[in-house]
Amino acid sequence: MNNIKLLKYHVFKPKTALEISPEIYEALQIITAKNPRLSVDLLIDIALDYISNLKEEDLLKLITEYYGRKQTSPNQ
C-alpha cells in the first residue's frame, strides 16, 4: 500500500508534508473514534512535538499501540 501524505500547518513551518502508512492512519482514526476529545491531527502533533531520536513512524506506532491497548477490554 502507498503511504498517506498529510499536509500539516505548524507555527514555525507554514506547511509540512508527513507520510504515514495507511495502517497507522487507520489506527489513529480508530483511536479518535473511541476518544472524541482527540483528533488524528492532534495525535500527530503530539508525536511530532516529542520526537527526538525516534523516527516519526515508530512514535506513531507507539501511540496507536498504547491507545489500542487502553481502549480494548480484556473480554474482547
**Domain regions of the chain by residue span:** 23-76
**pLDDT tens digits, 35-66:** 888 888 777 777 766 655 566 677 777 777 77
Q: Can you give the pLDDT at residue 54?
A: 61
4 conformational bin, left if phi > 0, alpha if psi -120 to 50, beta if neither = beta
Write out the H or E segment, with its range, that includes residue 26. helix 22-34
Q: Can you give the pLDDT at residue 65?
A: 78
**pLDDT tens digits, 10-28:** 544 555 667 778 888 888 8
CB 35 within 8 A of CB 67: yes
